Structures are given as structure tokens and as C-alpha cells.
Amino acid sequence: MSVLEIHDLHVSVETEQGKIDILKGVDLTVNEGEIHAIMGPNGSGKSTLAYTIAGHPKYHVERGSIKLDGNEMTGLPVDERARAGLFLAMQYPVEIPGVAVTNFLRTAKTALDGEAPALRGWTKDVREAMKNLRMDPSFAQRNVNEGFSGGEKKRHEILQMELLKPKFAILDETDSGLDVDALKIVADGVNRAKTETGLGLLVITHYTRILRYIQPDFVHVFVDGRVAEEGGPELADRLEAEGYDRFLTETSVG
Amino acid sequence: MSAPASPLTTDEGAHQQAQLDPTQPGRAPRSDGGSSYVPVQTRSERFKSTTTSDFPAVTGREIEWKFSPIAKLRPLIEGELDGGAWHYDTVATPGVSIAWVDRADASVGSAGVPEDRASANAWTSFERALAITIDGDEIQDLALERSRLDGAPRAAHTIITAKKHSRGHIVLHNSGAAQLAENVEIVVEDGADLTVVSVQQWNDDAIHLASHFARVGRDAKLRHVVVSLDGDVIRINPSVHLVSEGADVELYGAYFATSGQHIEQQVFVDHNAPKTKSRVTYKGALQGRGAHTVWIGDVLIRQSAAGTDSYEQNRNLLLSDGARADSIPNLEIETGDIAGAGHASASGRFDDEQLFYLQARGISEEEARRLVVRGFLAEIVQRIGSPELQTRLESAIELALVPEGAPS
């Protein structure tokens, strides 16, 4: 049984105005097979949490820990965290000119498994995963994220998640910019991955819309770098009705 | 004739020159530290001569030298050059003849005339030219290895001729020590189809200045590929003259400059006949402090070249800080009747976000760089048309990626 445990996490970034503390003591435990929604207003630290778990060099862990099955992740290089079983579906995936999707996927799979996947089975897996996400086969020959529409980028992120089979995936605003049809396709992919691999999910979103298609087990509301409130799926419904104003008035904005 | 009243010119080099000396926009000579200097407004009127002394002393401010590390090049630009025969290795091929010919031979000068002093110095100095002649309908493959030049300043002259309707694939592979100024003439006769690949994998202290002149005949096709990887200074300037209707050229370049290396290419395509076509694609990667690459792409579409189609592009990938890529496309059009003309230039970083993205998928930093650079240069390397050489070059590119100080 895998578990991702975040304890007393404090994170800062360097800016031109100096160091800014963004996360101010986050505690969160995600078990295998659970879906946790992280919600909150802009600037509350949701994406910082996502990138800190993945190990982006911009974010400095000041205090606290991120443990995957008891192993400390902070301090590990980004690729080692991925090999330990963490996956981040990015909000703004970058273009990699000249590198075809098929080559990229195979290189990643080889890096994660320590050996190249068996050709025939892998080709079939890729083809089926793409079909499920309603991606045209020609997509595999395109260069990574180059000229992709917003929806194609998000589907490509979920495609990677389905094929690379992480223990835990963090979806950073995967819903933003998607129309409802694309959102359903992406949500189906997430639910399929959960059914097939039993991974744990951290779904970061500003809106409750995606939670109609991906049912969370727990909802955490981030405000000013901390978890301000936690609950079950009903908390999302309440946020849908009330918005974040209730939380914002409790903190000094600005 | 639908030519506009004045030529449409987008010549950034000329613009810059004009800013330096706004009172002298034309071809009037100007005084520049004592040397007489003629700013060139249109590429077709650039000064040409086969004789070194016809060129003024090089100051380093000239349009053709201003990006180059002149101090290192002095011995080749103005020094005495050994013009004797040089050693090469090759395997005899039935449809290809190789012979040393006298400098008075009729084939010498059939594809072009030097436009810079180093090229003229090489021309003045060579004793005999190496003539490679391709004949026959079957495709002829020839690889010529030049690996045993000594490090002394020398000149060379090579003439590659593809006879009428012949088909050839010629690889010139350079390695070892060199301080070389040379001219390579390429004649593609009517209906011929020729590929010329020049690969530079010199020793780290080598200096190589080359001018390639090509003349492409009626319905003939030239594929010209330059791959420059190793050497201190490499400057290869191909000029292609499309002189008969239907002449077609593809010019490809791939280069990888690491710390302190200077790799330069000044490409000139001269459309001088109707329905001629050119495609120019150069791609470079740079890594390390002081890595410098220069690409200047001049395309001239003359009044005589109605219905031409041309496109040139240069892309650079900067893998680290402290590297510099200069990229200057110039398009000069003297006729209003063209099928297409365009250019593109882009230089970008291999940035931390690309690295993060690939690493977040479990790929190591080293593998990520390999993936990106190999992908970037693949478009060019795949044009070489020799699988064995392609594999060799891909390994060489990967080797160049090993960070300095790391065991290689």
C-alpha cells in the first residue's frame, strides 16, 4: 500500500523583491487509490505544492518533508522522484522541438523501468491509450507539444500518465482552458488510470467543474499557503455555491 | 517585365553598414583606417578576384569578416600558403575519376571566383587542383578522407564535376590537424543530380576557411550538406549559382560549437535563370562559454529569374549561457514575378523548463540534452544519405554534449 505523506511543508521562492514564503506549513496524506482535490483561490499556493512535490528547482523547501512510502523526496533530483513513482501533469507543458511524441514516450518509459519496453506490447499500449483519449494516430509523429492546441496538450499529459503508470499523480489545473467535451475525455482518462493502476491522485483546480467527472474522496481548501479547511466531496459543493469569499475575508488580502 | 522600379532589398548587413556611414549609401569607396573599402549594396556586385593582392588588407570590419576571429586567421588571409598536393584516402569507384590537374586547366574557375581575401589567397597559392569527375547514369558513391594535412598554413583547390545526366554522392571527410584555406568548385552539368557532403571533425586547434562555389545547370540538382563539429575556427561559405532554367539546390548545414569554438557559414544563392528553386536549412547547437556561430544567408533573385521559388532558414539552439549565435538572413529580389521567397531565423535556449519537463518523466539530465539536441539536428543529419556516416556523426554529436571536465 503506497502512501504520499506531506508534513509541515514550508516553501519559498526567490523573486526580484527578495524571498517570499508561499507554503506555510502544509500537512497532507494521500493513500494509494484515493483522489484528493486541492482547491483554493489564485495565489494560495496550490501550484507551488504541485511543483515542489515534483522537485522544480525554483521552489525551496525551508522546512518539512515529502515522503513517498517512507522515503524522503526533498533533496532528490527531479528525475529520481519520477522514477520513485511521482508524476506531475503540467498546466503549461513546454515544447520540445524535433523530438517526436513516440520517441519521447519510449525514452521516458525506458528511463522509468530501467529497460526498454517490449516493442510489440508497447506499441499496442500507446495506440490504445491514444485511441481512448480520442487522439489521432498521426499525433505520435508530431513533436512534443509543438503546435498542440490547449486541449491536445492536456490529453498528451494524461496519455503520459496512463502509459507511465506512476504511484501518485498530481494534476495541476488540468481542467483549465478545456471545453466540456475535452474535459470529459480527460476525466475518463484519469478515472481509467485509477481503475487500472490504483494510483493516488492530487487534483489541483480552481473550479469545481472537473470534480463532477472525477469524484474526489477528500477536498482540501488552500488559503494563504495553508490548508484552511478539509472535508469530503460535499465541501466542493459548498464552494461551488459560495465561492472562496468566506475564506478570503478571514485573511488579510494584499 | 514586371520588375519594380527599385530592387526590393532586405539586407540587414547593408542596413547596418548604412547606419555606420549614412553619407555613403552607394558604392563609393570610403576611407576606413587607411584601407579603401567598398560597401556592398547588392550581393551581385561584391568585389571578386582570384589574386590575393587585388584585395585590400583585411581590417576585420568588412561585411564578410566582421563576425570572424581575424587574429587567428591572419596566416591564411595574408600569409604564405603551401600550395602543394595533399594526401587523401579513398576507395576507387568505377564511375568517378580523381586526378591532379594543372592550375591552368580549363576546369579551374568554371564555378566561381573568390569574394574574400582568404579565398583569393588560396587561389593564388595552389599548385595543382584535385579534380573529381562523375560520369554515368548509375549513382556513384565516393568518400574522400582528408586526415593527414600537417598543421602548417596551406592552400587547396578541389573541382567536383558531375557530367551531364550523371548521378553522384560525394563525401569529403576532414579530420586531423589543419590550417587550411581552400576553394571547392562544384559543377553540376545539365540534368545531373549531385550530393556533396563536407564533414569537419578536425583536431581542436584546426583552422579551416573554405569557399564552395557551385554552378548548377539546366534541370540539374545539387544537394549540399555541411556538418561542422570539431575544430577551433571553421568557416565554410557556399555560393551557388543557378544559371539555367530549372536548376535546383538544397543547402543543408548542421553545426555544434562548444566552448571557444567559432563556426561560421555565409551562404549565397544566386537565382540567375527562370524557374530555379532553392531551399536553405542550417541548424546549429551551441554549448559552453565562448561558443560562437555565425550564419549569413544571402539569396539574390535576379531580374532574369522569373518564377523562382526560394526559402532559407536558420535555427540555433543555445544549450548554456555564454554562447552566441549570429543569424542574418538577407533576401534581395529584383523581379516581381516569383513563385515564392521567404526566410526565417530563430535562436532559442534549451531552457530549464524543457529540462524540468523531461526530468519529470524520469529522464536524466544527460539523456534529456541528448534527446533534444539529437532531435534538433536530425533533420539535417538525415540528409547525408549515408547511414554509416550518419551513425558516426550522431555519436560525435553525443560526445560533444558531454560537459567539460567530465570524462569522455
pLDDT at B14: 30
The tens digit of pLDDT for each residue in B211-240 reads 999 999 999 999 999 999 999 999 999 999
Locate A184 and state its grid cell. 470529459
> Does B360 contact A at CB distance below 8 Å?
yes
> Does B34 contact A at CB distance below 8 Å?
no
Residues of chain B with C-beta less than 8 angstroms from the C-beta of A164: 361-362
Beta-carbon separation of A54 and B360 below 8 A: yes
> Does B394 contact A at CB distance below 8 Å?
no
Beta-carbon separation of A103 and B371 below 8 A: yes
Confidence of residue A251 (pLDDT cuts 50, 70, 90): low
Beta-carbon separation of B367 and A111 below 8 A: yes
| Angle between the N-to-C axes of helices B365-381 and B387-400, in degrees from 0 to 180, rounded to the nearest 10 | 140
Question: Contact A87/A80 with Cβ under 8 angstroms?
Answer: no
Confidence of residue A223 (pLDDT cuts 50, 70, 90): very high
* pLDDT of B8 strictly over 70: no
Separation CA B123–CA B146 (nearest Å): 19
pLDDT at B5: 34
The tens digit of pLDDT for each residue in A98-143 reads 789 999 999 999 999 999 999 999 999 999 999 999 999 999 999 9
The tens digit of pLDDT for each residue in B118-154 reads 999 999 999 999 999 999 888 889 999 999 998 899 9
* pTM, to two decimals: 0.76
Separation CA A70–CA A49 (nearest Å): 19
Of A82, A94, A98, the CB nearest to B375: A98
Question: Contact B41/B17 with Cβ under 8 angstroms?
Answer: no
Segment A29-44 shows an average pLDDT of: 95
Which amino acid, residue B55?
F
CA-wise closest residue to B327 among B405, B232, B253: B253
The tens digit of pLDDT for each residue in B49-107 reads 999 999 999 999 999 999 999 999 999 999 999 999 999 999 988 899 999 999 999 99
Beta-carbon separation of A96 and B352 below 8 A: no
CA distance B360 to chain A (A): 5
Separation CA B77–CA B354 (nearest Å): 42
Separation CA A118–CA A121 (nearest Å): 6
Partner residues linked to A205 by β-bridges? A39
Of A82, A95, A100, the CB nearest to B359: A82
CA distance B281 to chain A (A): 14
- SS3 category, A232: coil
The tens digit of pLDDT for each residue in A138-166 reads 999 999 999 999 999 999 999 999 999 99
> Does B354 contact A at CB distance below 8 Å?
yes
> Does A93 contact B at CB distance below 8 Å?
yes
The tens digit of pLDDT for each residue in A192-222 reads 999 999 999 999 998 889 999 999 999 999 9
Mean pLDDT of chain B: 88
Beta-carbon separation of B363 and A96 below 8 A: no
Of A57, A99, A164, the CB nearest to B375: A99
**DSSP state, residue B92:** -
Question: Contact A204/A42 with Cβ under 8 angstroms?
Answer: no
Confidence of residue B376 (pLDDT cuts 50, 70, 90): confident
CA distance B320 to chain A (A): 16
Neighbouring C-beta atoms of residue B1, cutoff 10 Å: 8
Alpha-carbon distances, residue B255 vs B157, B265, B283, B400 (angstroms): 23, 10, 7, 11
Residue B106: is it exposed, middle or buried by C-beta count within 10 angstroms (0-12/13-18/19+)? exposed
The tens digit of pLDDT for each residue in B144-191 reads 999 999 889 999 999 999 999 999 999 999 999 999 999 999 999 999
Beta-carbon separation of A98 and B358 below 8 A: no
Residues of chain B with C-beta less than 8 angstroms from the C-beta of A82: 359-362
Lowest-confidence segment of A118-132, A179-193, B378-392 by average pLDDT:
B378-392
Question: Contact A99/B372 with Cβ under 8 angstroms?
Answer: yes
Beta-carbon separation of A96 and B365 below 8 A: no
> Does B366 contact A at CB distance below 8 Å?
no
β-pairing, A218-223 with B277-287? unpaired
CA distance B113 to chain A (A): 38
> Does A102 contact B at CB distance below 8 Å?
no
CA-wise closest residue to B316 among B256, B386, B228: B256
Confidence of residue B43 (pLDDT cuts 50, 70, 90): confident
Question: Contact B100/B128 with Cβ under 8 angstroms?
Answer: yes
pLDDT at B37: 54
For cell 460535499, the residue is A234
Separation CA B406–CA B181 (nearest Å): 33
> Does A161 contact B at CB distance below 8 Å?
no
Question: Contact A231/A49 with Cβ under 8 angstroms?
Answer: no
CA-wise closest residue to A225 among A30, A50, A11, A4: A11
Higher pLDDT: B205 or B369? It is B205
Beta-carbon separation of B357 and A96 below 8 A: yes
ipTM of the complex: 0.95
> Does B356 contact A at CB distance below 8 Å?
yes
Beta-carbon separation of A97 and B356 below 8 A: no
